[in-house]
């Protein structure tokens, strides 16, 4: 096996990628992690709901994980951006932005997703700080606060009961005409959930801490925090360039063994799972690494 040849290349070195690399490193697999150093949670002050690391910063957890993974001498870390991918007779060829080329039998995409931030002044600065996506990741810290829920339709119906469990003072901001059935409206009213249909023009904040929401008609409402259901896209087109299919919701389609729809390509983490959490990413990466090792071991054992 040549200098730039590996058994497995993992594109994405955050929680799921590092977890997959640990499983592979402990199985003596020559593995390369390619990572650009821009995780999607880089603005999040603290990570929660993950045993042993509750309250640590995302960077602290990543650094511990990276240091532990790289103690396995078959694992190599390359800091850079993967920009090209193609299928070859022997496996795959990955090219970086510096035009370095690496080859591997199997590929793991642990590339996460990109949140599509609304064009609302102040939203990006508050995202993951006081405007959040997940009650499990951030809900305890903003419990009992005056809370906005920026969502409409089924997304709003999904998250509102979870938020109500954490605070009795929440308001739905649908940013346009509310899209609810008569039955859903009745349930919201029964639970004292106020609905504001006015479009949002700005989120007033101080260093990312939400203070008030300003609507396009000039009116204002004070809030301490907000949940927002916003769309996303894949962080990279490389899996699709190789033929990997997406689900109807935009995640990479995988089977229970974390295989994509293209042979020898796997995916784990936020790019292929609706449950966005550190714990889920670590679990998915661990299983992915084990599944790849099993396949490599079987191929070698049964080789003629």
Domain extent for 290: 5-115+231-301
Same domain, 37 and 106: yes
Same domain, 177 and 165: yes
Same domain, 108 and 249: yes
Q: Pick from 228, 262, 293: which residue ends a domain?
A: 228
Same domain, 255 and 106: yes
For the chain, residues with pLDDT lower than 50 are none
Q: What is the pTM of this model?
A: 0.92
Q: Pick from 173, 195, 228: which residue ends a domain?
A: 228
Same domain, 130 and 185: yes
Q: What string of DSSP letters covers the chain?
A: --TTEEEEEEE--SHHHHHHHHHHHTTT--EEEEE-S--TTTT-S---SSTT-TT--HHHHHHHHHHHHTTSTTEEEEES-EEEEEE-SSSEEEEETT--EEEEEEEEE---EEE---S-BTHHHHBTTTEES-HHHHTGGGTTS-EEEE--HHHHHHHHHHHHTT-S-EEEE-SSS----HHHHHHHHHTT-EEE-SPEEEEEEETTEEEEEEETTS-EEE-SEEEE---EEES-SHHHHTT--B-TTSSBP--TT-B-SSTTEEE-SGGG-S---HHHHHHHHHHHHHHHHHHHHHHHHT--
Same domain, 221 and 235: no
- What confidence tens digit (pLDDT) does each residue in 152-196 have? 999 999 999 999 999 999 999 999 999 999 999 999 999 999 999
Same domain, 9 and 66: yes
Same domain, 106 and 39: yes
What pLDDT score was predicted for residue 253?
A: 98
What pLDDT score was predicted for residue 23?
A: 98
Q: What is the CATH number of the domain that holds 35?
A: 3.50.50.60
What pLDDT score was predicted for residue 191?
A: 95
Same domain, 170 and 80: no
Same domain, 97 and 246: yes
Same domain, 190 and 263: no
Q: Pick from 180, 208, 228: which residue ends a domain?
A: 228
As for how many domains the chain has, the answer is 2
Same domain, 103 and 32: yes
What pLDDT score was predicted for residue 154?
A: 94
What pLDDT score was predicted for residue 93?
A: 97
What pLDDT score was predicted for residue 83?
A: 96
What pLDDT score was predicted for residue 137?
A: 87
């Amino acid at each position: 096996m040549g200098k730039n040849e590996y058994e497995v290349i993992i594109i994405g070195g955050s929680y799921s990628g590092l977890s997959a690399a640990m499983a592979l490193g402990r199985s003596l697999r020559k593995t390369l992690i390619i990572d650009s150093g821009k995780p999607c949670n880089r603005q999040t002050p603290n990570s929660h709901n993950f045993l042993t690391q509750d309250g640590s910063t995302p960077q602290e957890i990543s650094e511990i994980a990276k240091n532990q993974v790289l103690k396995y001498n078959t694992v190599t870390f390359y800091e850079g951006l993967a920009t090209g991918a193609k299928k070859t007779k022997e496996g795959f060829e990955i090219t970086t932005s510096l035009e370095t080329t690496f080859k591997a039998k199997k590929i793991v995409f642990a590339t996460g997703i990109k949140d599509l931030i609304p064009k609302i002044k102040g939203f990006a600065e508050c995202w993951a700080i006081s405007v959040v996506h997940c009650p499990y990741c951030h809900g305890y810290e903003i419990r009992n606060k005056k809370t906005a829920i920026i969502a409409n339709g089924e997304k709003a119906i999904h998250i509102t009961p979870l938020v109500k469990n954490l605070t009795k003072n929440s308001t739905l901001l649908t940013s346009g005409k509310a899209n609810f059935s008569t039955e859903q409206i009745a349930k919201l009213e029964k639970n004292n959930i106020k609905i504001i249909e006015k479009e949002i023009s700005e989120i007033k904040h101080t260093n990312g801490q939400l203070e008030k929401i300003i609507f396009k008609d000039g009116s204002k409402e004070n809030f301490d925090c907000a949940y927002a259901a916003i769309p996303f896209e894949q962080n990279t087109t490389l899996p699709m360039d190789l033929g990997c299919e997406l689900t109807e919701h935009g995640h990479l389609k995988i089977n229970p063994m974390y295989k994509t729809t293209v042979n020898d390509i796997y995916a784990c983490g936020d790019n292929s799972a609706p449950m966005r959490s550190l714990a889920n990413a670590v679990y998915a990466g661990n299983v992915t690494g084990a599944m790849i090792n099993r396949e490599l071991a079987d191929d070698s054992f049964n080789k003629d």
